């Protein structure tokens, strides 16, 4: 799924940095979540897309990085609202739960949609304040 997404996004003109994995062997998803979320957190990347079996582990791991708002895709509407209302900057996909066509569409929605701001900005700022107070790296 990841390889097909990379190829498709590059064909659409997106600048894509693929940080792995590059092997079919089992790997530890938190390592890749940290690599992508770290780049987004520091501004090296505007947004990130993560793929694992369910998308859940990647979402949990990415959300431990300061400044990351990751959400798992399950529907078009969920991706739209996650971007427009929650200003997510990392999208996670579950390869065992999602067909390639949906993954492509959800990724394109994620990259296309902007943040609505307004009342949603106030709420996102409250999430950032929680993160600052309690720390995003606590278990």
By C-alpha distance, which of 84, 4, 11, 85 is closest to 49? 4
The yes-or-no answer on residue 120 being catalytic is no
The yes-or-no answer on residue 85 being catalytic is yes
What is the rounded CA–CA span in Å between residue 22 and residue 68?
Answer: 24
Q: Assess contact for 66 and 46: CB atoms under 8 A.
A: no
Instruction: Please pick, among 14, 85, 120, 134, the residue that the annotation labels catalytic.
Output: 85
- Tell me how far CA of residue 66 lies from CA of 31, 46, 85, 89, in angstroms: 16, 15, 19, 12
Q: What are residue 52's phi and psi, to 5 degrees?
A: -140, -170
Residues with a known catalytic role: 52, 85
């Amino acid at each position: 799924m990841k390889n097909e997404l990379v190829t498709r996004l590059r064909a659409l003109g997106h600048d894509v940095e693929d940080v792995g994995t590059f092997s079919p062997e089992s790997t530890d998803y938190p390592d890749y979540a940290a690599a992508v979320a770290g780049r987004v957190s520091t501004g090296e990347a505007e947004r990130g897309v993560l793929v694992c079996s369910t998308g859940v582990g990647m979402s949990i791991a990415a959300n431990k990085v300061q400044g990351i708002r990751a959400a798992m895709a399950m529907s078009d509407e969920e991706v739209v609202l996650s971007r427009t209302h929650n200003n997510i900057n990392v999208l996670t996909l579950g390869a065992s739960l999602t067909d390639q066509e949906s993954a492509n569409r959800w990724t394109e929605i994620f990259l296309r949609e902007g943040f609505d701001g307004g009342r949603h900005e106030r709420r996102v700022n409250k999430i950032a304040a929680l993160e600052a107070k309690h720390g995003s790296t606590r278990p």
